[in-house]
Amino acid sequence: MERIDRNALERFCTEVFIALGLPRDEALHSAEILVRADARGIASHGVARLWRYENGLRLGIMSGGIEPTVLRETPISLVLDANGAMGMSLSRKTMERVIGKAETSGVGFASIRNSNHFGIAGYYSEMAARSDMIGIAMTNTAALGVPTFGTAAMFGTNPIAVALPGNDGRIFSLDMSTTSVTRGKIEVYNREGNPLPSGWAVDPAGKVTGDAARLLDDMLFQRGGGLLPLGGAGEELGGHKGYGLAVLVDLMTAVLSGGTFGKSVMDSEATSARVCHFFGAIRLDLFRDPKELKSDVDTLLSELNGSPVAEGHEKVLWAGQKEQEAEARSAVEGVPLAANVVSRLKSIGKGLGIAFPGSLSG
């Protein structure tokens, strides 16, 4: 691993996006969201995906400066057609509008169709949490997940993120895929040449597979097989619950907005599929005094940290704690990137005449 100064890495990615035709605000948003994923230790959703954006922008599959179409709007809701806009910047701007609705009316919701990859879902739910709200974010993805008792991919990794604030910047931030792992995690194992752990995915015959490269190829061309739902195969460990959550995300993101869902959401070799999102914000003071509520959040999180620890582990964590601690470390030591990711970023930069920043780790 190499560690790169966060500000320098954001500047590099911003310059790449601008060189590829994005307006400056969209470039800044996109760079910030990608780098935040790496800063939090979520390499599957970070700057390693920059090549997909490069391909998509060069081929005209996605573009900057596109205005979404408002399909329906009320004081508390919004439905948009993104028209192929950049998913990260569009999603940030949409969550800002959702938060604005919640500030006025108590709640705000939005469902979007025809968008692109939006990075880590927790980025958007935490935007609301920082405004003393409950934040919700979801997105569907290309069909990669195999339903319980099935062998063909019928839904995406379809993440769900929910965030509630405590005090002093602490945020309970649940951000999870509804499959056992994300495709990005499979890509990480493939880049590193490691076999997949048993129980993450199945091949076209429905048998557990450890071959990351073959799995990625089979999923891309929809030959069968794919990622298992959260809980794994069958019902014994709750795989059917992960399956149900994945379908719920398709309903909230795509069916509500009139977008593409299920097996019809397909990636290409060049870029990611057009996808759909859902955002929500709910003001804390609809329920209780925000100060008292956040104090109880702190108490619960502290109780979790103080609960008995299993042998071989240091402490019990709450959702989002590991990522927030990793981000604090990245601010001091730099953002961790795998050597092969650095090599690819340097190649992208070279092609555009943009120098990649030096490593802080020697």
Q: What are 217-270's pLDDT values in tens digits?
A: 998 888 999 999 999 988 999 999 999 999 999 999 999 999 999 999 988 766
Which helix (H) or strand (E) is 114 found in, with range? strand 107-115
Q: Is the pLDDT of residue 362 over 80?
A: no
Cα(283)–Cα(225) distance, integer angstroms: 42
Predicted local distance difference test score (pLDDT) of residue 271: 66
Averaged pLDDT for residues 47-76: 92
Q: Poorest-confidence range of 53-67, 143-157, 336-350?
A: 53-67
The domain 1-65+336-362: what is its CATH number? 1.10.1530.10
Q: For residue 125, which amino acid is it?
A: S
DSSP 176: E
Pairing of strands 107-115, 77-81: parallel
What are the domain boundaries of the chain?
Answer: 1-65+336-362, 66-180+231-286
DSSP-assigned letter for residue 264: G
Contacts for 263 with CB less than 8 Å, ≥ 6 apart: 143, 152, 153, 154, 155, 222
Statement: residue 55 has pLDDT above 90: no
Which residue in the block uniquely carries the two structure tokens 């299920």? Answer: 262
SS3 313: coil
Mean pLDDT of 135-145: 96
| pLDDT value, residue 187 | 87
- pTM, full prediction: 0.93
CATH level 3 topology of 66-180+231-286: Ribosomal Protein S8; Chain: A, domain 1 (3.30.1370)
Between residues 315 and 199, the one the model is more confident about: 315
Q: How many helical (H) and strand (E) elements, i.e. helices and strands, does the chain have? A: 12, 11
CA-CA-CA-CA dihedral for 73, 112, 228, 175, to nearest 10: -80
Q: d(Cα 347, Cα 287) in Å, to the nearest integer?
A: 52
For position 292, what pLDDT does the model report?
A: 97
In this structure, what token pair is assigned to residue 279?
């955002």
Q: Which residue has the tokens 């999923």?
A: 219
CA–CA distance, 332 with 107 (Å, rounded to integer): 37
Is-same-fold flag (1-65+336-362; 66-180+231-286)?
no
Tens-digit pLDDT profile for residues 2-53: 999 999 999 999 999 999 999 999 999 999 999 999 999 999 899 999 988 8
| The dihedral formed by the CA atoms of 124, 68, 261 and 109, expressed in degrees to the nearest 10 | 50
Confidence check: pLDDT of 88 > 90: yes
Looking at mean pLDDT, say which of 177-191, 216-230, 303-317 comes out highest.
Answer: 303-317
Q: What mean pLDDT do residues 355-361 have?
A: 92
Burial of 197-231, coded b for 16+ CB within 10 Å and e otherwise, reads eeebbbbbeeeebeebebbbebbeebebbbbbbbb
CB atoms within 10 A of CB 292: 10
- Report the alpha-carbon distance of residue 235 to residue 196 in Å, rounded: 22
Cβ atoms < 10 Å from Cβ of 39: 24
**What three-state secondary structure class fits 108?**
strand
Does residue 347 register a pLDDT over 90?
yes
Structural tokens at position 27: 């470039």
Mean pLDDT (whole number) for 125-132: 98
Q: How far apart are the first and last CA of the chain?
A: 11
In whole numbers, what is the pLDDT of the chain averaged over residues? 94
Pick 61 or 341 by higher pLDDT.
Answer: 341
Q: Any alpha helices (H) in 20-86, and if so which ranges?
A: 24-39, 50-58
pLDDT for residue 137 is more than 80: yes
Higher pLDDT, 155 or 272: 155
pLDDT of residue 342: 95
Q: Which pLDDT belongs to residue 191?
A: 86
**Cα dihedral 121/316/233/142 (nearest 10):** 10
At residue 61, the pLDDT reads 79
Query: What average pLDDT score do residues 185-196 get?
Result: 90
φ, ψ (nearest 5 deg) of residue 53 = -70, -40
